[in-house]
Structure 1
Amino acid sequence: MCGINGIVSVNALNFDAINEMNNKIIHRGPDDDGVFVDANDDFSVTMGMRRLSIIDLSNGKQPMYSEDKNVIIVFNGEIYNYKILKANLEADSINFKTNSDTEVILRMYLAYGTESFSQIDGMYAFSIYDKRTNKIYIARDFFGEKPLYYTQLNGSIIWSSELKSIKSQLNRLPQISRKGLELYFALTYIPAPYTIYDGILKLEPNNFIEYCISEKEISIHRIHKQDSSKVNYNGTFDNAKKETELLIQESVQSRSISDVPIGTFLSGGVDSSIISHCLAKDVEQKINTFSIGFEKKSFDETDKSRVVAKLINSNHHEFIVNEKSVFSNIDDILENFDEPFADASALPTFLVSQKTSQHVKVALTGDGGDEVFGGYNKYHINGINKTYTKFIPEGGHTLFKKIGASLLKTKDDNRGIKFKIKKTLDAIDYNNKFYWNIISLGFNEREMVQLFVNSPSNIFEYYNKHLNLKKTDTLRDLRLIDKHISLEGDMLVKVDRTSMLSSLECRAPFLNKKIWDFSNTLPDNFLIHKGAKKYILKEAFKDVFPKNFLESSKQGFGVPVGDWLRASLKDELIGYIDKEYVLKQDLFNYDYIARVVKNHVLGIEDSTFKVWTYYCFQKWYRKNY
């Protein structure tokens, strides 16, 4: 695990530029660094990396070169099937100098070119410079577990694992991207390919860039081209259940390969409990498990994690989050995202990563279980929207919303039944926008018109076209949206940045292409059965846990930021609605945003998600502009 950087420029480059980029991401790889610089009369190429040593601690130094020095690679991530790939290459009389997965990628490319990328099972971002063709290849993994940013300007291309490295090489800060801004205030994060900056993009998952140096041209290609959703499973439910258990156990096994200590995040929910069980089953010694609790009892679920820890006989570590521990780190946490990011669960995720890194260097997580096996309430609610709009005329719905606006109003950060009903009513749509509304955790389409000085565009148009979604009818459609948007843009960003800030590597066994492809072949009622979410996953492992344990409700990894915005963060928040300050930005309608913030602070109407989204944006803006 590490971070990578690179520049191709028509100007002469030296070690200073790449070293500066490396130094910006030293937290991603404190164990080692490396740089490569090559220049001629026409162009310069420089690549660098920071390394967190996990596999082949003594021999995995990067950049890594082919024997003739004509092909060079820098790599961030882990390749879980590298031993299998290496054995296949050795069978073809290809020799290796190290036991590192980096060399496997290099030798695969030398043998098979870019076609080799589709054989890799892992989380990664890597760049390869091939002097023979004067081309750069930059690749990102299937789910987008590892980040990759890039920009083209003045005949150059710059790429990096984090925005901060790219920004260090710019003469001036780019303008705010209108599309990035709109996506952020709708979703509370910015999914690929957009960023908050004009001209800087994220490489989308399952893609690689081919950059022709002589022509200064980028082309982007998919790595895995086959669509697994067009295949249907023909076996019985019992057979599918057994295959589910086997696939997950195998994935945990492959993702636990490490030359350093490993543990798991254990929240007590379905996904992390299953992953912790599988790891404990796979190894002989006791495993380390880590969980985090909260002083506010409605947010605390440490009792569930203790049940699992006792069951699997782990060395369990439990940490309690309080306001003081959050506030002492909040600036560093939010700043490290490099662009506005308002998933408040990033705060406890950093704290559990920080504590975990004091004991192990690698942690398995339950991330991706909901997307892969259909675990979100919103999947079930999508069916409610279909039924509701079939029988309730649009005029009747408008009346219900007016009545509900006062009856369902809440005054504090309590995400109970009133909050959920209001969220659903607000999302109901008669024009196939329901799912886009339900995933918009910040401001909905109507509210965005009131929020911005300039009316927003069709916010999700790119994704509808890119994913070829004429309608969002099926469970596969919804899970595909989540894979490309909320998983890539929110969940994986949160875990990568917060864990890397603590120099901890996190791995997600559910994010295995083989498991994703398998779940896409299953009928919907294997995933959600009579309202029971993640049905096949729970059935596959229910005998391992106490009766009904996997059926118990899960709060989620939330924190009471709504309360904090009324108390400890209030003064700073109020400063962000100073009239002169807001009008000078020329982004927001002052009267609207001031009313939303004041009503929240005064306890008139809780708007935790909206106000936290605004707060995080302004905190980022003040730091950067």
Structure 2
Amino acid sequence: MCGIYGSTIGYSKEEVKKKLERTNFRGPDQSGIQIYRNQYSNVILGHNRLSIIDLDQRSNQPFNYFDKISIVFNGEIYNYLDLKKELISKGYSFSTESDTEVICASYLEYGEECVKYFNGMFAFVIYDYNKNLLFGAKDRLGQKPFYYYLGPSGFEFASQISSIQLFNKDLTVSSQSIKNFFIWYNVSGEQSIFNEIKKLKDGYCFKFDLISKKYSDWQYWDIKYTSNINLNLSFNEAKLQLEDLLTDSIRLRMIADVPLGVFLSGGVDSSLIAALAAKSSSTKVKTFSVRFSEKDFDESIYAQKVAQHLNTDHHIIDCNYKEGLNLIQNFSEFYDEPFADASAIPSMLLAKYTKPHVTVALSGDGADEAFMGYRRYAKLDKIKRTLKIPYSARKLSSELISCTNNKRFNALKALISAKSSGDAYLDLISDVNSSWFLSNLNIHKIPELKYLNNPNKNFHEQVSDFDLKTYLSWDINTKVDRATMAYSLEARSPFLDYRVIEFARGLPLEYKFQKDNQKRILKSILYDHVPKELFNRTKSGFSMPFEKWFRNELKDYVLSELSHNNLKNIPGINVKEVCKMIDEHMLGKWNHYQMIWSLLVLKQWLDKNANGLRIV
């Protein structure tokens, strides 16, 4: 796990060094820079290393492989040992024990098809000396970030946008990205917060020709657009196959030359990972959870019960408003685009206090999307039933509700006025109150809608696919990467092994989702290892007590940061309406914590990054 950087722009070595220093928290163990000069273009490669596999300096990057190619690589190739054996049989030799060198040999053997052989999370760029090109790729599910700038001055890429931003005078802030931020609480899709910087899409490769200066990219993996349900697989057969697959996924992710642990919330997903990890480990597994003083948000007691049953070395991390405020005030240093998922704060706290014990932590991310675990999925049948009512009747009901001017009916109004199940789901997950914006926010203009409107799959499958391509990619993966790398900790997600994702897509719906029994097959596996009684409670997300903190301990901070004068500097919002909503929150009339948190995040980012920049 590291931070990568590269450019064909003529920055000085000192400038490149500062670009790497900006994100050296991603890889504090070693920093390297190489400048390659040829008749067509200078190529700069830079790397901040967090040593996980082969701690020897021989595996430092930029890494040169037999004077044919050089590479900078962020992530892990979990099946590198199997690939290495195959490549040795083909005549390749290796001077390190690293997965980095396996990528290089795989590229020379398989060319651009090499990415299809990798099981891992990765973003890498190879400089091919003979072909005069840069070749790179991002993992299938987008766990590792990759930003790039392509302009008159050249091509530049990095793990985080702030490295590209430094010394780049061609940037403008994207007004559309700010609008998208208010809808999704992150900068969605392939666009970044800057108009001139893009993100490489998940499951994509790219080439940059150093002679022609042309950039091209293409997709090497995606969720199957056609339905591939295996109706011949019984539930018990599927359960056995899935447990074997998860066990192997965890085994691969426990390969490390540094201490390793497990994030344990006490929920189904992390408990299953902890149980299978404990079963596979020859030593006592370390587990970590967060405890809040606010009882409504504290689930640490459940994590502790699971840890006791599994006999893990369990650590509980306390979170209070003082700790939270410190992280809030430095938030944009690590999330260097606006990002308003409130669970980022406890995620950062968990990483901060896990790092002194381990350098790698397994997490349960991806299970809700793959096996239909979110609470909102229980509403999908209600949506389908409602939409069977003729649209004319629903439209009239919506107009009658509008006359009440009652905010509590906003969700119902959106549902009954929706023209399709996909539209209804978008309204359900966005829940945008348009009253505090100066213009309408259009949630219906994203290319990922093809997954939500896929005629080849049922509604539950459509929603699951859509969430994998949007919420998982834009929110969950961003949150986990930035929160852990802020403290030089590597997070690995066994549920995001592409084999697990593909297997889940082939399961009959009832194996994953039944009324009042979501993630059915995962629970069935879990209950073979941990008593079912420990999970007889309502599902809870990993969230913050911001509603209470903003009214009490952090009230002065909120009112100071979001004063009337400060709000006037935030583009696109109705300042008068926002002030009214903040007052409503402080008086306990309504819970507007998400709006308040979004504005705090955006204001902080604008204060630190947008001085002198045009918003276009």
Find the counterpart in structure 2 of residue 5 from structure 1.
5
SS of 1:559's equivalent in the other structure is coil
Deviations 1:26-77 (A, max 9, x none): 101111121121123542110111111111111321111121x231111011
Find the counterpart in structure 1 of residue 181 from structure 2.
184
Find the counterpart in structure 2 of residue 213 from structure 1.
210
Distance 1:277 1:498, change over 3 A: same
Letter in 1 for 2:277: L
Letter in 1 for 2:427: N
Distance 1:226 1:253, change over 3 A: same
Find the counterpart in structure 2 of residue 440 from structure 1.
430
Distance 1:425 1:288, change over 3 A: farther
Q: For 1:215 and 1:70, how far apart are their aligned partners in 2?
A: 21
More divergent stretch after superposition (427-436 vs 141-150): 427-436
1:237 equivalent among 230, 235, 241: 235
Query: When the two structures are superposed, what TM-score results if normalisation uses the length of structure 1?
Result: 0.92
SS of 1:378's equivalent in the other structure is helix
Residue 568 of structure 1 and its aligned partner are, at CA, apart by 3.5
SS of 2:247's equivalent in the other structure is helix
Find the counterpart in structure 2 of residue 63 from structure 1.
62
Q: For 2:418 and 2:223, how far apart are their aligned partners in 1?
A: 33
Residue 425 of structure 1 and its aligned partner are, at CA, apart by 5.8
* 2:257 is equivalent to residue 259 of structure 1: yes
How is 1:287-306 mapped onto 2 (pairs within 5 angstroms)? Answer: 287-306=285-304
Deviations 1:203-248 (A, max 9, x none): 1111112111222221111122672753221211111111111111
* 2:190 is equivalent to residue 193 of structure 1: yes
CA contact (8 A) 2:306 2:534 kept: no
Q: For 2:167 and 2:300, how far apart are their aligned partners in 1?
A: 45
Q: For 2:581 and 2:464, how far apart are their aligned partners in 1?
A: 32
Letter in 2 for 1:81: N
Find the counterpart in structure 2 of residue 431 from structure 1.
419
SS of 1:328's equivalent in the other structure is helix
Residue 515 of structure 1 and its aligned partner are, at CA, apart by 0.6
Residue 545 of structure 1 and its aligned partner are, at CA, apart by 1.6
Residue 93 of structure 1 and its aligned partner are, at CA, apart by 1.7
CA contact (8 A) 1:192 1:201 kept: no
Letter in 2 for 1:343: D
Q: For 1:51 and 1:87, how far apart are their aligned partners in 2?
A: 25
Q: For 1:251 and 1:269, how far apart are their aligned partners in 2?
A: 19
Find the counterpart in structure 2 of residue 414 from structure 1.
none
Distance 1:225 1:295, change over 3 A: closer
CA contact (8 A) 1:361 1:505 kept: yes
Which runs of 5 or more residues in structure 1 are unaligned? 409-420
2:138 equivalent among 126, 137, 140: 140
Find the counterpart in structure 1 of residue 274 from structure 2.
276
More divergent stretch after superposition (389-398 vs 614-623): 389-398
Letter in 2 for 1:247: L
Residue 562 of structure 1 and its aligned partner are, at CA, apart by 1.8
* 2:530 is equivalent to residue 555 of structure 1: no
> How many residues get paired?
603
Residue 258 of structure 1 and its aligned partner are, at CA, apart by 0.5
Q: For 2:6 and 2:102, how far apart are their aligned partners in 1?
A: 21
CA contact (8 A) 1:134 1:212 kept: yes
CA contact (8 A) 2:32 2:48 kept: yes
CA contact (8 A) 1:538 1:550 kept: no
Q: Pairwise CA RMSD of aligned residues?
A: 2.2
SS of 1:123's equivalent in the other structure is strand
Q: For 1:502 and 1:229, how far apart are their aligned partners in 2?
A: 41
1:78 equivalent among 76, 79, 93: 76
Residue 470 of structure 1 and its aligned partner are, at CA, apart by 6.6
Q: For 2:14 and 2:85, how far apart are their aligned partners in 1?
A: 39
Q: For 1:585 and 1:207, how far apart are their aligned partners in 2?
A: 34
SS of 2:495's equivalent in the other structure is coil
Find the counterpart in structure 1 of residue 30 from structure 2.
32
Distance 1:15 1:424, change over 3 A: farther
* 2:200 is equivalent to residue 203 of structure 1: yes
Distance 1:498 1:14, change over 3 A: same
CA contact (8 A) 1:123 1:141 kept: yes
CA contact (8 A) 1:183 1:459 kept: no
Residue 457 of structure 1 and its aligned partner are, at CA, apart by 4.3
Q: For 1:82 and 1:320, how far apart are their aligned partners in 2?
A: 38
Find the counterpart in structure 2 of residue 512 from structure 1.
497
CA contact (8 A) 1:364 1:506 kept: yes
CA contact (8 A) 2:268 2:526 kept: no
Distance 1:2 1:454, change over 3 A: same
More divergent stretch after superposition (174-183 vs 139-148): 174-183
Find the counterpart in structure 1 of residue 613 from structure 2.
none
Deviations 1:323-368 (A, max 9, x none): 1111122222343111111111111111111111011111001111
Distance 1:187 1:57, change over 3 A: same
Residue 315 of structure 1 and its aligned partner are, at CA, apart by 0.7
Find the counterpart in structure 1 of residue 599 from structure 2.
614
SS of 1:78's equivalent in the other structure is strand
How is 1:91-102 mapped onto 2 (pairs within 5 angstroms)? Answer: 91-102=89-100
Q: For 1:544 and 1:458, how far apart are their aligned partners in 2?
A: 42
CA contact (8 A) 1:272 1:366 kept: yes
Q: For 1:255 and 1:313, how far apart are their aligned partners in 2?
A: 21
Residue 130 of structure 1 and its aligned partner are, at CA, apart by 0.8
Query: When the two structures are superposed, what TM-score results if normalisation uses the length of structure 2?
Result: 0.93
Find the counterpart in structure 2 of residue 536 from structure 1.
521
CA contact (8 A) 1:191 1:486 kept: no
CA contact (8 A) 2:227 2:456 kept: no
CA contact (8 A) 1:13 1:39 kept: no
Find the counterpart in structure 2 of residue 481 from structure 1.
466
SS of 2:514's equivalent in the other structure is coil
More divergent stretch after superposition (565-574 vs 243-252): 565-574
SS of 1:107's equivalent in the other structure is helix
| Percent of aligned pairs with the same amino acid | 33
SS of 2:246's equivalent in the other structure is helix
Residue 530 of structure 1 and its aligned partner are, at CA, apart by 2.8
Letter in 2 for 1:618: K
CA contact (8 A) 1:229 1:517 kept: no
Letter in 2 for 1:62: Q
Distance 1:548 1:387, change over 3 A: farther
Find the counterpart in structure 1 of residue 326 from structure 2.
328
CA contact (8 A) 1:78 1:123 kept: yes
How is 1:578-597 mapped onto 2 (pairs within 5 angstroms)? Answer: 578-597=563-582
Q: For 2:43 and 2:347, how far apart are their aligned partners in 1?
A: 37
SS of 2:357's equivalent in the other structure is coil
SS of 1:48's equivalent in the other structure is strand
Distance 1:585 1:250, change over 3 A: closer
CA contact (8 A) 2:235 2:511 kept: yes
Residue 584 of structure 1 and its aligned partner are, at CA, apart by 4.9
Letter in 2 for 1:73: I
Residue 153 of structure 1 and its aligned partner are, at CA, apart by 1.6
